[in-house]
A and B are shown apart, each in its own frame.
Chain A
């Protein structure tokens, strides 16, 4: 195990040290809240961040497993392609945007525009999400255990959105569909894997109402 103290250091040196350290050992990073773009584009490794983290954490993640004990800033796991990102606390605006693959689990709450333009990742929020979550989502799974704000799943294009609580309002091009056995099994699997206390039976599923909604 390698410890990296990021205090007063810049993104270039910290990310370089992470890249050099991840060969087979797990890396623990602390005091990195001032760095935006921490652990960017990593292809491998297990990384634990103690305390808070800044914006763009795990941006372009390409296979690493990144966990935090604490809250993180905006645009968490932006444009992730594969790997796993698990946050014990809350995150702010725009977590899981532009993601192509991998898994993002947020045990706390997430902000507005979470999972916007998700193109294939699995994104699970154990708490609540803000407004406009899953806007223009193109593929993948988005699971919200708590409640959602307004315009939920606005202009959904493809993919599956599941919610355990209530939404303030549903966005354009959405349709509530009954949960299938497969959906149930999938959700139960997620909840078991990531130790989330939720009853899959109570979830609702939202899909795109029309497959070509945007032009006449």
Chain B
């Protein structure tokens, strides 16, 4: 995992600079050079180098110590190694006092530099891994963790940030895999409830009665198996935020209960007669179009208006393809650490195949695709071949049923897809479709399907 760490070598003598840089490049690092302190400071402002080798004696009014101090102001996490031709205890002490991590005298033993760099990189890798794990463990995501430069996405994030500190109910709409929970957690963690609990409930995962007792809790003896009183998710989230995922799947009865909680911030436990009052902020998410569900009578309009106080609509990945390069690199960097692989980038061709793909599973699918490619990749960058499975699944995924299609159109599509899969074998296709061969022939003729 060397490739993620970039090194800057600063020396006024070109031959020194270049020879050290070349030697480090052979070791697999990405290395830049600067011929003066000023140039180094400018470069440090543009790029986050992990390690700096800085020569102590440099002309032009900015020596190594001064350069180091300037860089440390911008990049407090950087490791700085001071190089000098003449070792004196005084300069060594000054350098270390000002924050140099190491101090080497040139010419330096190759083994010494090699050990030094690998030791620093080891620590940096551990620090990075630690922060990734910590984040995973606590899931303390903030807006900064949402990777996007897409203009629509930025609007979404600005809106979410603006409402973070309010108690207003938020409805997050977006396809599956677009990061609805991530946005919900970011809203929670950026608001004044950040120190309070964030409780996530998936409304689709549980049957109606189970979800009811899950959300509102139950009293002892409320039903068989209710051996003791249990607090529900609304109570657990008291003071904090409750995240109702897949809220479009809530049953009509529960919709009524939920409406009451939203109106009164009060509810009864299952089998209970005592009213429980809570201070909970509700963030609901759904991958189905709730407006449409309301129009179709599947979702109560009064609940919809209660939930839809602030609407956050996350665009699907195919509508913000400009984020794909950035997201892909973000996942590569993180997964390289998790998988222990020295992969730092992806080729032009690979990026093209990512951009060509439609991403029905959105960002989550992209993340999984990159993980799959990285597991099998043996090179230092992901190539087009590593994503060959995408084009295969694109061919298979062409069979989608968009709303607004007639049954006949759908039938034609299904027959075409089945024939494709059986490579035109009528007998096999008829078996798969569960119809007679003669019926299949008739339909092929009627729909004018080319074979």
Tell me whether A and B are bound partners: no
